[in-house]
Amino acid sequence: MAEVVVSNIVKSFGKVAVLKDVSVAIADGEMLVVLGPSGCGKSTLLRIIAGLETASAGDVMIGGRRVNDLEPAERDIAMVFQNYALYPHMTVRQNMAYGLKNLGTAKAVIEKRVAEAAQILGLAELLDRKPRQLSGGQRQRVAMGRAIVREPEAFLFDEPLSNLDAKLRVQMRHEIKQLQSRLGTTGIFVTHDQVEAMTLGDRLLVLNQGVVEQVDTPIAVYARPASLFVAGFIGSPAMNVLDGTIDGDGATVSCGGARLLLEHPLPGAGGREVRVGIRPEHLVAGDSGTSPPGAGLDAEIEWVELLGADTVAHGRLADGQALALRRPGDRPVAAGDRFHLTPAPAHLHLFDPATGRRIE
Amino acid sequence: MEKRVVFRHRWLPYALLAPQLAITLVFFIWPAAQALWQSMLVQDAFGLSVRFVWFDNFTYLFSNREYLHSIRVTAIFSLGVALLGLVVALLLAAMADHAIRGAVVYKTLLIWPYAVAPAIAGVLWLFLFNPSVGIVAWWLQGIGIDWNHKISGNQAMLLVIIAAAWKQVSYNFLFFLAGMQAIPKSLIEAAAIDCAGPAKRFFTIIFPLLSPTTFFLIVVNIVYAFFDTFGIIHAVTRGGPAQATNIMVYKVFSDGFIGLNLGSSAAQSAVLMAIVITLTVIQFRFVERRVQYG
Amino acid sequence: MVQNRPFFAVLVHLTLILGVLVVALPIYVTFIASTQDPSDVLKAPIPMTMGDRLVENYAGVLGKGSVNASSGPVAPMMLNSLIMALGIAIGKIAISLLSAFAIVYFRFPGRMLAFWTIFITLMLPVEVRILPTYEVMATLGLLNSYTGLIVPLIASATATFLFRQFFMTVPDELVEAARVDAAGPLRFFWDILLPLSRTNIAALFVILFIYGWNQYLWPLLITTDQSMYTIVMAIQRMVVAADNEPEWHFITAVAILALIPPVVVVVLMQRLFVKGLVETEK
């Protein structure tokens, strides 16, 4: 168990920079989820930590030890691969024992650890089967088991749930979370799935085109996205983003034909163009009482998605900007309905149109 | 196509390649270079002196009636082998593709000649056609054909073609059958709705779809007829009678190894090398290699 | 298939049966002849049913050789053929696995050069370089030896390419898992790549065993000592001798003995054989 520190990692393939100065410190026992769209460099980051790829610049420290020049096996990490990477010709037992055997661990120790891991993961009955005789979830567990028996300083997960069906994914998500906190091992989990990220991570690192957009707890990332990219990537349906201008007094923002009250006034910012983000679930119909009278957004619904528990209604403001709002499933909405929407000031997110960064 | 993940090691890859490369250099590249070099040399009658003559050996070769005759013989032989082997195999494969019951059994019974060495195949057919004791020769006599391949050049050619094609039918059969079985059933069913009988279906749908396989097999069969049939010729006719079956590969051997004509044999080797290279390039560049086996 | 036409089905089976018979005819006649009394073989037409000399003829062929001494006993020749076939098959597989492993799993200066050097062997069959190869063999003192029969034939572009092709399909993640599991290149090769290649190795073995057993020109070139003859190359001498004093009951028995091992291998390991054939495609 150890702290993992990544500092100023740069990785280029030829002229293409995949990671641009990535730094993050993962505390001992913490689970950090690296989240981002495909091609953002998240897997490369993980592989650099694992030692499967070499960084162009920067350092990786595991437990206070600089591991840049060490082989993966010498870094005291264990990895769970996307396709599990189980050795198809070995039994479950052999798969789990292989790494320890290569490291010269005593036979008795190997047997004990494999038995323990099998117990924890419910694989005891399957130890003599080959991977092809196992279900997807079982294979996933074997891959976990292979990582556990190493008793490593850190677990590295490379989208390990992406090959499972939806139901199994929820279950394995839960199991991984439990296991990691029970063992107290530092974990780094790479995924493109925001639900996985929100539920698994102690903290999230949102990566976009090789740049760290935000590192924070899942709730903070949801509540206070640091950039337009994060705002759009986290949350479903995605956050509405409208064009707006700060009014002269700095206390309100004009957007979509309405003036919305800001939580924190921005004195001296009068006339500044901004992007205003409001989550669909925060677009409350009716007068909230917190905005100046008549200051809400007027939207006409154009089409509706009935999701059962929720209804997502897509509409347009008077000035033609599109937006979506989310309502409980038991409150019928139809195309043509008009809404007067007054989001709470705390639910408005302002972003700089040029840099995409959050305006505080 | 390259692996993304590789190992790093300073000398290991060289050590791994060493045996293969050593054998290749000593037994392939060096002798081949020798052959090319010798093809430009002429030795005097007593083997005492050697002269460098540039391309004289080749000029001589291509004006030599015997060599030109050998080229013609090779052409007839390889076309004969390819044609006979392919047509018979195609017919049998088309039938096996239709045989719902017993297809596997027929396959087993048809593929084993591949395992028979060319020289042995030659001996088997030699025995069948032996003018004094051969059963086929005796049948032929019964219908008024006087068979003696030791005298008739045409009959000798026919005999070696039959022996060589017999062995190759199994190979062609396997690939044709695989090609046919790879054609989607729905296509055949659509064809059955669109047009009449099986024969028409075969020639308008199946055979055109098989053309990559056919082209591949034509090249393979020609390569086979050129280079792998030495044993048949050597065991059955030794190039005779009167050079009638003296194919190029056999001539290199007899001129060089028996006739000890160094320069000419080397020049013939060089010509054959050019032919193999051409055929290999055709095979790799233009032939659809991915034949699906169902 | 699609339609059900009884007449057509009959035609299909008749054609196939005819094909099987024509394919089998030479073997059948040869086998019958090999069981006959020498005098019966020389009658035209020869009998079409088995004679009573099966055991005597084959025992004689294997142990004593021909009556008029045109050939020695065939048993040692079969042993030579077996050694040569096994040596070539195993040798080719071994060095091809190693070089394919080097080419696929390493990046090093000269890699492409090595690749093309191996590729070139495709274009240089023995047949096109008979004399100089013979000279090399003579210089190295490899005539009339097992080394000479085997080693020069084990370089193989086809087998190397087959393994290269297969290695390319092995998921990269397995290599990475192995690296995390502290397996170096040789351990990965031995513990993971080799077991995964089992089927390919077996399929190739079937093809190469046949290839090795059926070698003709090569042993013809480099063996002059009868104790080194292989059965396939030796038969030609018997046929030539037969021009003077035909011993067809003897030659036919040798032919049957020469074709039995590879044919048995093909029939028993048909699946592997077909796989090997399709994958080497040459």
- ipTM, two decimals, is 0.87
Task: Report how many Cβ contacts below 8 Å link chain A to chain C.
Answer: 58
Sheet holding A349-351, edge to edge: A258-261, A252-255, A240-246, A273-278, A349-351
Residue C50 domain-assigned (yes or no):
yes
Query: What pLDDT, on the 0 to 100 scale, is given for residue B236?
Result: 87
Q: Is a pLDDT exceeding 80 seen at residue B283?
A: no
Query: What pLDDT, on the 0 to 100 scale, is given for residue A6?
Result: 93
The domain B58-290: what is its CATH number? 1.10.3720.10
Query: What pLDDT, on the 0 to 100 scale, is given for residue B293?
Result: 34
Q: Does C187 touch chain A (CB under 8 A)?
A: yes
What values do phi and psi take at A165, rounded to 5?
Answer: -75, 165
Query: Beta B50-52 vs B41-43: how paired, if at all?
Result: antiparallel
Contact assignment for A85 to C171 by CB distance below 8 Å? yes
Query: What pLDDT, on the 0 to 100 scale, is given for residue B265?
Result: 82
Query: What pLDDT, on the 0 to 100 scale, is given for residue B44?
Result: 67
Average pLDDT over every residue of B248-270? 82
Round the CA-based radius of gyration of chain C to a whole number and report it.
24
* Residues 34-63 of chain B whose Cβ lies under 8 A from any Cβ of chain C: 34-35, 38
Average pLDDT, chain B: 84
Q: Give the domain ranges of chain A.
A: 4-233, 240-351
Query: What's the pTM value of the predicted model, to 2 decimals?
Result: 0.84
Contact assignment for B118 to C216 by CB distance below 8 Å? yes
Q: What does the pLDDT look like over A168-207, one tens digit per residue?
A: 888 888 888 888 888 899 999 999 999 999 999 999 999 9
At which of C222, C244, C261 does a domain end? C222
Contact assignment for A89 to C187 by CB distance below 8 Å? no
Tell whether C166 and C197 lie within a shared domain: yes
Q: Is a pLDDT exceeding 50 seen at residue B291?
A: no
Contact assignment for B119 to C251 by CB distance below 8 Å? no
Tell whether C270 and C169 lie within a shared domain: no
Q: Is a pLDDT exceeding 80 seen at residue A238?
A: yes
**Domain A240-351 fold:** OB fold (Dihydrolipoamide Acetyltransferase, E2P) (2.40.50)
Cα angle value B277/B267/B234 (rounded, 5°): 80
Tell whether C153 and C237 lie within a shared domain: no
Domain CATH code at residue C175: 1.10.3720.10
pLDDT in tens, chain C (282 residues): 445 567 777 888 888 889 889 888 888 888 888 888 777 777 767 777 777 777 878 887 888 776 655 667 888 889 999 999 999 999 999 999 999 999 999 999 999 999 888 888 878 887 778 788 888 888 988 888 999 889 988 887 888 988 998 999 899 889 999 999 988 899 999 999 999 999 999 999 999 999 999 999 889 888 888 888 888 888 888 777 655 656 788 888 888 989 999 999 988 888 888 888 877 764
The DSSP code sequence of A82-124 is: TTTT--TTS-HHHHHHHHHHHTT--HHHHHHHHHHHHHHHT-G
Q: Give the domain ranges of chain B.
A: 58-290
Q: Which helix (H) or strand (E) holds A157?
A: strand A154-158
The Cα–Cα gap between A121 and A138 comes to 9
Cα angle value B9/B13/B18 (rounded, 5°): 145
State the residue range of the domain holding C256: 6-72+231-280
8-state DSSP, A74: G
Q: What does the pLDDT look like over B203-239, one tens digit per residue?
A: 877 888 888 888 888 988 998 898 889 989 998 888 8
Using CA atoms, how far residue B166 sits from B119, C182, C268, in Å, is: 12, 54, 21
Query: What pLDDT, on the 0 to 100 scale, is given for residue A96?
Result: 94
Tell whether C87 and C212 lie within a shared domain: yes
- Provide long-range contacts, Cβ within 8 A and 24+ apart, for C3-10: C3/B192, C3/B198, C8/B98, C8/B198, C9/B98, C9/B99
Tell whether C19 and C113 lie within a shared domain: no
Tell whether C203 and C99 lie within a shared domain: yes
Q: Does A70 touch chain C (CB under 8 A)?
A: no
Q: What does the pLDDT look like over A23-41, one tens digit per residue?
A: 999 999 999 999 999 889 9
Contact assignment for C120 to B174 by CB distance below 8 Å? no
Q: Does C259 touch chain B (CB under 8 A)?
A: yes
Which of residues B58 and A134 earns the better pLDDT score?
A134
What b/e readout covers B115-139, taking b as 16+ CB neighbours within 10 angstroms?
Answer: bbbbbbbbbbbbbbbbbebbbbbbe
Q: Which helix (H) or strand (E) holds B250?
A: helix B248-253
Tell whether C117 and C207 lie within a shared domain: yes
Tell whether C27 and C94 lie within a shared domain: no
Residues of C whose CB is below 8 A from A50: 176, 180
Tell whether C91 and C208 lie within a shared domain: yes
Contact assignment for B117 to C120 by CB distance below 8 Å? no
Query: What pLDDT, on the 0 to 100 scale, is given for residue C282?
Result: 43
The Cα–Cα gap between B127 and C33 comes to 10
Contact assignment for A99 to C180 by CB distance below 8 Å? yes
Residue C1 domain-assigned (yes or no):
no
The tally of domains found in chain C comes to: 2
Q: What does the pLDDT look like over A103-117, one tens digit per residue?
A: 999 999 999 999 999
For an interface test with C, the pick among B5, B9, B17 (most C C-beta atoms closer than 10 Å) comes out as: B17
Sheet holding A65-66, edge to edge: A16-26, A4-13, A57-62, A65-66
Q: Dump strand ranges (E) for chain B.
A: 41-43, 50-52
Tell whether C136 and C193 lie within a shared domain: yes
Average pLDDT over every residue of A123-143? 91
- We find that the CATH architecture of domain A4-233 is 3-Layer(aba) Sandwich (3.40)
Query: What pLDDT, on the 0 to 100 scale, is given for residue A106?
Result: 93
Query: What pLDDT, on the 0 to 100 scale, is given for residue A8?
Result: 93
